Structure 1
């Protein structure tokens, strides 16, 4: 039998902030899973948003028809008649907290729970408006 040359650890460790543990452990005990609040829509990856000249905010790609976001009137990105891309809504703020990209939107929403009501600042073309929305349970 040939013995491995190295038997040591690479010294890689992982740490979880205590604030995250305090939030997640009770959910694991109660539900057997982590319950996250979200908008129940698909946001474009930052690279895609940048390619579509969306430099500030989170570009909405898809909105499930049965979601609260769809009922509130959030518009997804679509294709026009000529095959051109028609940008959907861009979420630029949640409760006055600026959203610069997809990751920042997720980070902001981590502070909320399912059922919380938030006020989204939406950019639709050259128009800006606010839209109230109740957060749903999300898997992402």
Structure 2
């Protein structure tokens, strides 16, 4: 639909094409996402997303490290809300072996199977909301309360 650009609030898909035909790469935006971000764009000119501001392992790397369910925490910035909440990053042991960090298995009881699902679940919340992360740390399962902050990704 070529009129999507001008009518963003009424359209939830778009086809990008160089030739101007209806053949190309299609993009779809859920209407619930459009309804949530349009007021932000109008008010501030940008979209503000809530997140943990940590680095999560790409699914392929997590799979190679035998993480089958959940989102593997790679890095936790010092002095971040995630660090203050006690999240553990993936590190190297004394012998150079990889020591897995926390694996986020659920957010407020909603299961998380991978990085994409974590992003999708967190997208339902606002900056400043507090959520309970269910994490796997070694053989332990823990619940960690954490406040969401503005994220760039």
Give the TM-score normalised by structure 1.
0.91
Q: Which of structure 1's runs of 4+ aligned residues deviate more than 4 A?
A: none
Report the CA distance between 1:8 and its aligned residue.
Answer: 5.7
Q: Which residue of 1 aligns with 2:23?
A: 11
* Residue 90 of structure 2 corresponds to residue 77 of structure 1: yes
State the superposition RMSD in angstroms.
1.2
Structure 1 residues 15 and 92 mapped into 2: Cα distance closer, same or farther (>3 Å)? Answer: closer
Report the CA distance between 1:106 and its aligned residue.
Answer: 0.5
Q: Which runs of 5+ in 2 are unaligned?
A: 1-18
- C-alpha distance in 1, partners of 2:85/2:20? 56
Structure whose alpha-carbon radius of gyration is higher: 1
Report the CA distance between 1:16 and its aligned residue.
Answer: 2.5
Q: Which runs of 5+ in 1 are unaligned?
A: 1-6
- C-alpha distance in 2, partners of 1:103/1:23? 19
Report the CA distance between 1:11 and its aligned residue.
Answer: 2.5
Q: Which residue of 2 aligns with 1:67?
A: 80
Aligned length: 134
Among 110, 121, 129, the residue aligned to 2:134: 121
Q: Which residue of 1 aligns with 2:58?
A: 45
- C-alpha distance in 2, partners of 1:15/1:40? 26
Q: Secondary structure at the residue paired with 1:74?
A: coil
